[in-house]
Amino acid sequence: MNKGEGMQRQFEREIAALFEEYRTLREEVTQRVAARMHMIGFAGVISALLAASNKITFAGPTLYVAAVALLLALLWLRGINLAIQRIGTHLRGVEARINELASLAWGTPDAILTWETKIQAGRQQVSGVPGLSGRIGGWYVP
């Protein structure tokens, strides 16, 4: 085996390891999105039950319980969103490394992985009130 073949095999092993990391992180994003949706549903049900109870007054604890439940849900959602964004940042780095190695190993002129990079480009174009609320809520990060 010559030096070029050895380097190509090394690139291929690194690409395989990075693909496994990429796949695992994409699964984690999927799980976090599902958890986020469950929390939204849970907070919605609590709010609906409290609103339907006809006991929401400033004198009773129901209003304050509803406000605390919604505040905690919003803070939890923001934390989940920021975690997803951190994973996305790391995934973009993995994409870049895989694309670089693929170019070296196989002479691939085009990027093989582009999902996270394209999604981030779209997030950065969101402006106005949706962009501001998205950044505050952790949905979009610069």
Beta strand ranges found along the chain (DSSP E)? none
pLDDT tens profile 30-72: 999 998 888 888 888 877 777 777 666 666 667 777 778 888 8
pLDDT tens profile 81-115: 889 989 999 999 999 999 999 998 888 889 999 98
Q: Is the pLDDT of residue 14 over 90?
A: yes
Residues 6+ apart with CB under 8 A from 23: none
Residues 6+ apart with CB under 8 A from 25: 87, 90, 91, 94
pTM score, whole prediction: 0.77
